[in-house]
Chains A and B, each alone.
Chain A
């Protein structure tokens, strides 16, 4: 009896192409999309951004709630409950039937730590220090614990207020992005968005429309209202929050065990934060759901709001629901390249169709600066159909 011939086994590993820096420069200058154009990509990106929009909605509401209602609370035990202290809500929280707001805090910490752009500059200004002094003076009159802490650690409360300001600003940023991504899903369903290029354009227009929106933040303490980020600071959505957010969360990020084996003493982590490459665009999706890896929280949250179409696509994969969070992470990276693509397109110093050589050179230099950072990111997902 002859052996039964077996069907050829599928390969166990795949690797997408890695475009060079020059390829990326030409793509950006030609106005083409970074992510390959395909119907699969379109449905994946739109659906994952819809689930992201749902999650960002919850993050945004909670961050704004924390910044306004848990302001300078030394024990913010109930900060994730959005003010709903009903037994049912607490029970669901204890059973972890909830959004992982810790991920939002993680992003906020990354923004605070990397500190780039106009928001960070304002947080180090005299005007902000004066705001803090007024707030602390008013608050410590009514809070004996803070009254003791403040003279002992004079910078402590100011730093907490800086953190609260970043929290509120991120909450405002995500409010806009959540609405934008949910609108994008509706637009795709209505047939107004039918390609990756249209997705990038839709996001770019949304960002440009919100670019000048003011970022302000005030708190109420015992009936008195205090500005933390006053209108006169002139902080705006795009350049003061969105761009620092992209820098801190998409590009730099923070290293954590599980994805990067690092030894800070041996200088394996750059002492220059600007050289960090641990953000969402560089993150390795494979360790998702490994212990202590923060993006796992986001993927779990997005899984709760996954549109059925994308869910079915994932279930058709070799592992079905078993590796769904890794697959979400991979799709999410494709979507984040679209968002980055839109941000770059919306911030070119000059129109791409300019005939002026100096403007063309400036655009090329701008594109080259981005390409140098993106060519070592997870560009393997850009032409990966899976």
Chain B
């Protein structure tokens, strides 16, 4: 059943690339949309077959692929991966829907989109470290191409920077996986926390450090974040949606699954430092967002800040905080995708994202009032307003982490307050006041005489954002569904250090 989640996008991508003869852009787009819809429906089928009361991996599939190097094809899904698979399916579909006016190579574009979605599914579902790494790296080149071919004016720089950073990330992760195989002597590349617990603390710390930095680049956490604002600024809207909503989650998923999941003892040792790192990341991301005048960079820096919450939750590693981490991954996926979509609409209509230029976009007749309304909803959700997804995730993260790391949690709460600061700056500058989409001329009378004629936003352009906004509110009002889905898995993960210690202490290994 899980293999279909890889087969649909990969076979679709291959089919699109190899289809003989010319294909009109719209037909290619429709074919991609059909495949992605099928992937979403199949993900929902997996959800129906998933047993939320079972904390372990389910629906497993495996066969020995390249046995000699320990590369087994082993898939499974648990309460941690299931929501992310759903988010991946939904957001890739949204990305494809909001792809319009492709200037070139539509076949390649949609094939890459499908390829990324399949690779992300593979990474979330892999039970084998090498297989995870394979999929982790597989999404790298398509994304690089998506930025460097369909990106903005400075796309070459941004794409190369992204490639270098994530290549180093991959190198560190692969190094850690190979190192683990080397020191344990087990080359099956399975996830065995009890085996790693037998290693010396020094070895554990070295391997964990490599993984931490590898995933910190991907998430990204300060100071490894510099590729993200550039990549977002130059990427087209659908790619930004995918990048923020799905691809960053590979990093946070890796943090939970491989760092916390495989090195619980070393993790516990580093946890206070990690909590401090989270606070620095949150505060730095938030303060940097305040300083931005490009709407997209502001949203990108907000991602840097909000990913810090997940590190804090993972550092605390309590059942509540880890559930909060899952909520944060999902809610950040939806909210950041929503914000990037809306920034994309603003940019398409006004041809600028400059907060020193844009004014009054909430103007009811000549502005973008519905886009503005959704933007206000999105920033409120991001700032953690009750009734929306952001509140649930931040509340769970803070509630679960406060007892373990009170200072770091309080600092992260300050970061949450700063989210309101920079997003209110964004809304106040771009959406209130007299409508304007050109830089002020310095002559107040001449500026007040400007007649702004923006094209209207069609309903089909707003529908993806509306769907995401509904998801954000839905998750905020009815969080129990996701809670039930992940609670067993996150609780089991929180109990892992105690379990490993009990097994070791009880001599069960001898």
Known A9-B351, A286-B451, A319-B456: A15·B434 in contact at CB below 8 Å: no
A286 interface neighbour in B104, B105, B452, B456, Cβ under 8 Å: B452
Q: Beta-carbon contacts of A1-27 to B below 8 Å, as 1s and 0s?
A: 111101001101111101000000000
A319 touches B365 (CB 8 A): yes
A319 touches B434 (CB 8 A): no
Q: Which of B350-373 contact A (CB under 8 A)?
A: 350-351, 360, 363-366
B450 touches A15 (CB 8 A): yes
Among residues of A, the one whose C-beta sits closest to the C-beta of B435 is A286
A1 touches B451 (CB 8 A): no
> For residue A18, which residues in chain B have a CB less than 8 angstroms away from its CB?
445-446, 449
B445 interface neighbour in A10, A317, A376, A384, Cβ under 8 Å: A376
**Residue A210 lies at the interface, judged by CB distance under 8 Å to chain B:** no
B104 touches A1 (CB 8 A): yes
Among residues of B, the one whose C-beta sits closest to the C-beta of A319 is B456
B468 shortest CB reach to chain A, Å: 24
A318 touches B456 (CB 8 A): yes
> For residue A322, which residues in chain B have a CB less than 8 angstroms away from its CB?
365, 456
> For residue A15, which residues in chain B have a CB less than 8 angstroms away from its CB?
446, 449-451
Q: Which of A316-334 contact B (CB under 8 A)?
A: 317-320, 322-326, 330
Among residues of A, the one whose C-beta sits closest to the C-beta of B450 is A13
Bound Cα distance from A9 to B451, whole angstroms: 16
Known A13-B437, A319-B456: A326·B351 in contact at CB below 8 Å: no
B188 shortest CB reach to chain A, Å: 46
Q: How large is the interface on A (under 10, 10 to 19, 20 to 34, 35 or more residues)?
A: 35 or more
**29 intermolecular pairs with C-beta atoms under 8 Å apart:** A2-B104, A3-B104, A4-B103, A4-B104, A6-B103, A10-B453, A12-B350, A12-B452, A12-B453, A12-B454, A13-B437, A13-B438, A14-B453, A15-B450, A16-B449, A286-B363, A286-B451, A286-B452, A289-B364, A290-B364, A319-B365, A319-B366, A319-B455, A319-B456, A322-B456, A323-B366, A326-B365, A378-B449, A386-B451
Bound Cα distance from A289 to B434, whole angstroms: 13
Bound Cα distance from A13 to B349, whole angstroms: 12
Closest 8 CB pairs of A and B: A323-B365, A380-B449, A289-B364, A3-B103, A14-B451, A326-B365, A13-B450, A3-B104
B452 touches A290 (CB 8 A): no
Bound Cα distance from A18 to B104, whole angstroms: 44
Among B363, B365, B435, B450, max chain A CB count under 10 A is at: B365
Known A1-B105, A15-B446, A376-B445: A284·B434 in contact at CB below 8 Å: yes
**Residue A288 lies at the interface, judged by CB distance under 8 Å to chain B:** yes
Bound Cα distance from A319 to B456, whole angstroms: 6
> For residue A317, which residues in chain B have a CB less than 8 angstroms away from its CB?
453
Q: Which of B423-475 contact A (CB under 8 A)?
A: 433-438, 445-446, 448-456
B275 shortest CB reach to chain A, Å: 45
Among residues of A, the one whose C-beta sits closest to the C-beta of B102 is A4
Q: Beta-carbon contacts of A274-307 to B below 8 Å, as 1s and 0s?
A: 0000000000111111100000000000000000
Bound Cα distance from A9 to B435, whole angstroms: 20
**Additional pairs, 13, CB under 8 Å, beyond known A330-B451, A380-B451:** A2-B104, A4-B104, A10-B453, A12-B350, A13-B450, A14-B450, A14-B453, A18-B449, A261-B433, A287-B434, A288-B365, A322-B456, A324-B365
Q: Which of A169-198 contact B (CB under 8 A)?
A: none
> For residue B453, which residues in chain A have a CB less than 8 angstroms away from its CB?
10, 12-14, 317-319
B388 shortest CB reach to chain A, Å: 24
> For residue B366, which residues in chain A have a CB less than 8 angstroms away from its CB?
286, 319, 323, 326
Q: Which of B75-124 contact A (CB under 8 A)?
A: 103-105
A12 touches B446 (CB 8 A): no
Among residues of B, the one whose C-beta sits closest to the C-beta of A325 is B365
A284 touches B455 (CB 8 A): no
Among A3, A323, A386, max chain B CB count under 10 A is at: A323
Q: How large is the interface on B (under 10, 10 to 19, 20 to 34, 35 or more residues)?
A: 20 to 34
> For residue B448, which residues in chain A have a CB less than 8 angstroms away from its CB?
284
Chain B residues at the A interface, C-beta cutoff of 8 Å:
103-105, 350-351, 360, 363-366, 433-438, 445-446, 448-456
Bound Cα distance from A325 to B104, whole angstroms: 39
> For residue B364, which residues in chain A have a CB less than 8 angstroms away from its CB?
289-290
Main secondary structure of the interface of B (DSSP, over half): loop
A12 touches B434 (CB 8 A): no
Bound Cα distance from A330 to B450, whole angstroms: 12
Known A319-B456, A322-B456: A384·B365 in contact at CB below 8 Å: no
> For residue B454, which residues in chain A have a CB less than 8 angstroms away from its CB?
12, 318-319
Bound Cα distance from A323 to B451, whole angstroms: 12
A329 shortest CB reach to chain B, Å: 9
A169 shortest CB reach to chain B, Å: 33
> For residue A323, which residues in chain B have a CB less than 8 angstroms away from its CB?
365-366
> For residue B103, which residues in chain A have a CB less than 8 angstroms away from its CB?
3-4, 6
> For residue B365, which residues in chain A have a CB less than 8 angstroms away from its CB?
288-289, 319, 322-326
Q: Beta-carbon contacts of A327-349 to B below 8 Å, as 1s and 0s?
A: 00010000000000000000000
> For residue A16, which residues in chain B have a CB less than 8 angstroms away from its CB?
449, 451
Q: Which of A345-386 contact B (CB under 8 A)?
A: 376, 378, 380, 384, 386
B70 shortest CB reach to chain A, Å: 42
> For residue B455, which residues in chain A have a CB less than 8 angstroms away from its CB?
318-319
> For residue A14, which residues in chain B have a CB less than 8 angstroms away from its CB?
450-451, 453
B317 shortest CB reach to chain A, Å: 49
Known A1-B105, A289-B365, A319-B366: A13·B456 in contact at CB below 8 Å: no
Q: Beta-carbon contacts of A257-286 to B below 8 Å, as 1s and 0s?
A: 000010000000000000000000000111
> For residue B104, which residues in chain A have a CB less than 8 angstroms away from its CB?
1-4
Bound Cα distance from A320 to B453, whole angstroms: 11
Among residues of A, the one whose C-beta sits closest to the C-beta of B362 is A290
> For residue B363, which residues in chain A have a CB less than 8 angstroms away from its CB?
286-287, 290
Bound Cα distance from A289 to B365, whole angstroms: 7
Bound Cα distance from A90 to B509, whole angstroms: 85
> For residue B433, which residues in chain A have a CB less than 8 angstroms away from its CB?
261
> For residue A287, which residues in chain B have a CB less than 8 angstroms away from its CB?
363, 434
B93 shortest CB reach to chain A, Å: 25
Among residues of B, the one whose C-beta sits closest to the C-beta of A2 is B104
Bound Cα distance from A4 to B103, whole angstroms: 6
Bound Cα distance from A270 to B202, whole angstroms: 76
> For residue A284, which residues in chain B have a CB less than 8 angstroms away from its CB?
434, 448
> For residue B452, which residues in chain A have a CB less than 8 angstroms away from its CB?
12-13, 286
Bound Cα distance from A323 to B364, whole angstroms: 8
Bound Cα distance from A134 to B351, whole angstroms: 67
> For residue A384, which residues in chain B have a CB less than 8 angstroms away from its CB?
451
Bound Cα distance from A288 to B367, whole angstroms: 11
B99 shortest CB reach to chain A, Å: 15
A21 shortest CB reach to chain B, Å: 13
Bound Cα distance from A1 to B23, whole angstroms: 14
Among residues of B, the one whose C-beta sits closest to the C-beta of A285 is B451
A320 touches B450 (CB 8 A): no
